[in-house]
Amino acid sequence: MIFEQLTASVITAGSGRAFVVESAGERLVITAAHCLPFFPPAQSFFEPKERIYGPLLARLGDEPRTWAVCRFVDPIADIAVLGSPPKPHADEYQALMETAIVLSIGGSLRNPVNFWVPARLLSLDGRRWFSCTVRHFGGPLWITHAAEGIRNEMSGSPIVTEIGTAIGVVCTAAAPWEGGPNPRLTHNLPGWLLRDTL
Domain presence at residue 194: no
Where is the domain boundary, 36, 71, 98? Answer: 98
- Mean pLDDT, residues 101-112 taken together: 74
Confirm whether pTM is higher than 0.85.
Answer: yes
CATH number of the domain residue 86 falls in: 2.40.10
Dihedral, CA of residue 49, residue 54, residue 59 and residue 60, to nearest 10: -110
Q: DSSP states of 48-85 as a string?
A: GGGGEEEEEEEETTSPP-EEEEEEEEETTTTEEEEE--
pLDDT at 196: 73
* Tens of pLDDT, residues 135-159: 988 889 999 999 999 998 999 999 9
CATH number of the domain residue 164 falls in: 2.40.10.10
**Domains of the chain: total:** 2
Q: Are 71 and 123 members of one domain?
A: no
**What pLDDT band is residue 28 in, cutting at 50, 70 and 90?**
very high
Segment among 58-72, 73-87, 105-119 with least mean pLDDT: 105-119
Q: Are 84 and 127 members of one domain?
A: no
Residues of the domain holding 150: 117-188
Domain presence at residue 107: no
